[in-house]
Chain A
Amino acid sequence: MKILVAVKRVVDYNVKVRAKADGTGVETANVKMSMNPFDEIAVEEAVRLQEAGKAKEIVAVSLGVAACQDTIRTALAMGADRGILVETDAELQPLAVAKLLKAVVEKEKPELVILGKQAIDDDFNQTGQMLAALLGWPQGAFASKVEVGADAITVTREVDGGLETVALKLPALVTTDLRLNEPRFVKLPNIMKAKKKPLDVLKPADLGVDVTPRLVTLKVQEPPKRQAGIKVDTVAALVDKLHKEAHAI
């Protein structure tokens, strides 16, 4: 089968993000950017399926500014076969991303699409579900295990209170949760090889998609900071404070 994975370039996991002083957005100048961690899990899952002989080709897709090519190259270094960048400087919201990905899916005709469950920048947790809906496909969101059969997949999902397993007819879409796998470290020779793998660049207009945002951000601000309290010296003092002062126990 052919697998399509979507990868997003986001502010690195370890960066402490700050609101711009004028409240128009967050400070992203000179900030380290990386692949969204859940998307790394998506690429890893696709590569493992290929290594297990279940997948023939893996196509990594990213959407956004030209620098997203770096994110695609990382996916190629992890083992994806080729990349597609839908290049635009416009702000892309989940519905627009889902529509662009739908157009790519219709061209590429994969049997399985894998995305991260959530991007750690805008924290929307929507794109996979929206894409599945637009395609009329079933979804296995928040997956912790994926088993591929001949014409269906079985997905174990992280739900409140435990796990749920669903069977989905192919073609299908999966969004990844933390425990699905542990992504591999990329080795230097693979980074060199990835530079030679094909990477096509398209524009939203080539795909006939209107990406106009539906949501307008009026203001971005930091929430009130919580103040540090006191340190106590003993467990007895801690329990005493929680009981007599905080009335919490």
Chain B
Amino acid sequence: MSILVIAEHDNAALKAATLNTITAATRIGGDIAVLVAGHNCGAVAQAAAQVAGVKKVLVADAPHYANQLAENVAALVVGLAGGYTHILAPATAAGKNTLPRVAALLDVAQLSDVIKMESADTFVRPIYAGNVLATVQSSDKIKVMTVRGTAFPAAAATGGSAAIETVAPAADAGVSSFVSQQLTKSDRPELTAAKIIVSGGRGMGNGENFKLLEDVADKLGAAVGASRAAVDAGFVPNDYQVGQTGKVVAPELYIAVGISGAIQHLAGMKDSKVIAAINKDEEAPIFQVADYGLVADLFVAVPEMSKELDKLKAG
């Protein structure tokens, strides 16, 4: 078995999702190589070489990899694929963008959001918003899959000493180009990496009211999330979205505020270790999965919670 993991990074740092994917690779077993495709991404390659369990790091450094354009990265991966039995990427926006192109060009199927490795050719993945789990066997010569980060612990970021090899870039496909990006600036942890998440739903009423949640989140060192309903209503940006079509999270604590608990939302957070819910509707389905439920008006309860947290801190 020989596994290629596609690293997620921003040319400066290796993203945490890569570490979960490396653990997933170790569950298959075999030699693990990590591909770092980027521009001026030497620091990322160095970081990847330190990760426990990695045997080799391949670096393709070229301007047309700077922004992870799917057309270019996929062409590179396809050129390298011959030596591998498995190609893995994190099931992030970047992984989901690129990997199906790789699979199609290799004429193989792709598995999405794998949560368990049963064997080298059999995998478990959620379907229907996680209401059911499918155990799927692949007959393709190369197994191409995206991996759900929350299903695998992060590999140790240090302790490894992989060799770093430079690989020749593939040609720029020349059909797409990066124009700009607008990233949400926040000092809070990333949703998928946060230990605590405070999430708001339609019950928040408007975007301004999310400040109430931000206040609590900052006292907890938490990330702020949202249900699809809150995103649909325009309260918050899409990258806050937790659920079937947004991010999948599994923090130590998930606090759902004004979220009814539609199955599509539960799909994204029901593997959280502890779930607390605040909702004024005692029949809300969120209470069926919450460890701790409080039936209350969030506009009273959330500011009160903020004060209680102050008291807790003060000891």
Chain A interfacial positions (CB closer than 8 Å to B) = 11, 13, 16-19, 26, 38, 93-95, 98, 117-118, 120-134, 136-139, 141-142, 144, 154, 157-169, 172, 177-179, 213-223, 226, 228-239, 241-243, 246, 248-249
Contact = CB atoms under 8 A, between A and B. Distances in A.
Q: Tell me which of B67, B100, B137, B294 has the highest count of chain A C-beta atoms within 10 A of its own C-beta.
A: B100
B295 A118 contact: no
A166 B177 contact: yes
A141 B96 contact: yes
28 contacts: A26-B128, A94-B110, A95-B109, A118-B245, A120-B129, A122-B127, A122-B128, A124-B110, A125-B100, A139-B71, A160-B192, A214-B108, A219-B135, A222-B133, A228-B288, A228-B289, A229-B291, A231-B282, A232-B292, A232-B293, A234-B294, A236-B308, A238-B305, A239-B308, A241-B292, A246-B253, A246-B292, A248-B253
Given A123-B126, A231-B294, 15 more contacts: A94-B100, A133-B74, A160-B94, A161-B184, A168-B175, A178-B232, A221-B133, A229-B290, A234-B294, A235-B296, A235-B301, A235-B308, A237-B294, A242-B276, A248-B196
Interface stretch (B21-29, B50-58, B161-169, B236-244): B236-244
Interface in B131-151: 131-140
Contacts of A231: 282, 287, 292-295
B112 A126 contact: yes
A138 B176 contact: yes
Contacts of A160: 92-94, 190, 192, 239, 247
Nearest to B219: A249
A162 B181 contact: yes
B136 A130 contact: no
Contacts of A241: 292
Contact of A230 (B228, B288, B293): B293
B245 A169 contact: no
Contacts of B289: 226, 228
Contacts of B280: none
Nearest to B146: A125
Contact of A17 (B131, B231, B253, B308): B131
SS class, residues of chain A in contact with chain B: mixed
Interface residues of B, number: 94
B43 interface: no
B39 interface: no
B128 A11 contact: yes
A138 B175 CA distance: 6
A141 B182 contact: no
A159 B273 contact: no
Contacts of B241: 178
A121 B108 contact: no
Contacts of B264: 13, 120
A198 B230 CA distance: 39
Given A95-B104, A162-B183, A249-B196, A123 B112 contact: yes
Contact of A242 (B113, B128, B253): B253
A120 B128 contact: yes
A17 B276 CA distance: 25
Nearest to B96: A125
B263 interface: yes
Contacts of A38: 245
B135 to A, nearest CB: 4
Interface string B91-114: 011101111111111011111110
A169 B175 contact: yes
B48 interface: no
A220 B125 CA distance: 10
Nearest to B293: A231
A232 B290 CA distance: 11
A53 B201 CA distance: 37
B103 A220 contact: no
Q: Tell me which of B238, B239, B312 has the highest count of chain A C-beta atoms within 10 A of its own C-beta.
A: B238
A247 to B, nearest CB: 9
B66 interface: no
Nearest to B220: A249
